[in-house]
Structure 1
């Protein structure tokens, strides 16, 4: 009986590890639908990179809010702007070490002058940057976002 429980636990934890290590590499055209989903879900899209100190500092706020709101219609998407050549050596190990279970995309599109402006005309391109939206309600943050700002902004869109 103990062996069956142990095997079940290992399968369960390994499925979380596989999810945490999964990173979909996308160009901007593939990413663009994430910016305008008409559902009743609140989307929190965070642009970040493993080499960005402010991004790493705010990450625990996102993880805590994601956990706090796991039973609400809120979806977190982390868009990494790391160099694609470091996906296996830096990005995936970072995701695993920090137990990021939310969806992670690697945006691999060299035409940043276009997509930065297309995402938000006020965005300088600096990271971290965060979009929080639900249907036509949209907020944009350039720079670090606190736990309180995240929570208040998401709750205001639910």
Structure 2
């Protein structure tokens, strides 16, 4: 039921044009509040993170504060981030929260949960064009995760336990 809700919410957010004032002006915008900084990217600027080839393994998790399964698995990404930091592994948490929620929901959540992983907001309402560029099999449901190193990449449209996440990371290390 929760995964279904996240899928429907993602479709609603990505499938509809919204008339709210756009907060993210460009890929270099950084929203700061209470000592927390969150960079905001459009897909064009973000896409480079999907193709780094610098001998570092990356775990890129797409999530949102309104997605219950996403929130449930975040501690596992934090554990991986802390345990593998010195092993050339980078965890990037890509928030799909709407821009108007960054200061009121996302940043307070990050501060309260003491999230140490790199967090950014992907603010590009044309999800129908960028979702298949992330992975051609992705329906748009979250949580979704890419684990890659160099030319080896695996995509997962699912929630993880810590053991499952670590097992999949070890496939690329």
Give TM-score scaled by structure 1 length: 0.86
Cross-structure match for 1:113 = 128
- 1:71 is matched with 86
| Shift in Å, 1:59 | 0.6
Matched, 1:150 2:165: yes
Task: Give the number of aligned pairs.
Answer: 140
Cα distance in 2 between the residues matched to 1:112 and 1:70: 31
Which residue number in structure 1 is paired with residue 151 of structure 2?
Answer: 136
The yes-or-no answer on 1:42 pairing with 2:57 is yes
Deviation at 1:156, TM superposition (A): 2.2
Counterpart residue number, 2:4 = none
State the distance in 2 between where 1:103 and 1:61 align: 14
Structure 1's consecutive aligned runs of 4 or more residues displaced over 6 angstroms after TM superposition are none
Q: So what's the TM-score if we normalise by structure 2? A: 0.78
Q: Distance in 2 between matches of 1:148 and 1:22?
A: 30
| Structure 1 SS opposite 2:120 | strand
Number of the residue aligned with 1:28? 43
> Secondary structure, in 3 states, of the residue corresponding to 1:115?
helix
String of CA shifts for 1:40-67, please: whole Å, max 9, x gaps.
1000000000000000011111111111
Distance (whole Å) between structure 2 residues aligned to residue 137 and residue 146 of structure 1: 22
Higher helix share: 1
Structure 2, unpaired ranges of 5+ = 1-33
| Structure 1 residue 117, shift from structure 2 partner | 0.8
Residues in 1 aligned to 2:70 and 2:143: alpha-carbon distance in whole angstroms: 5
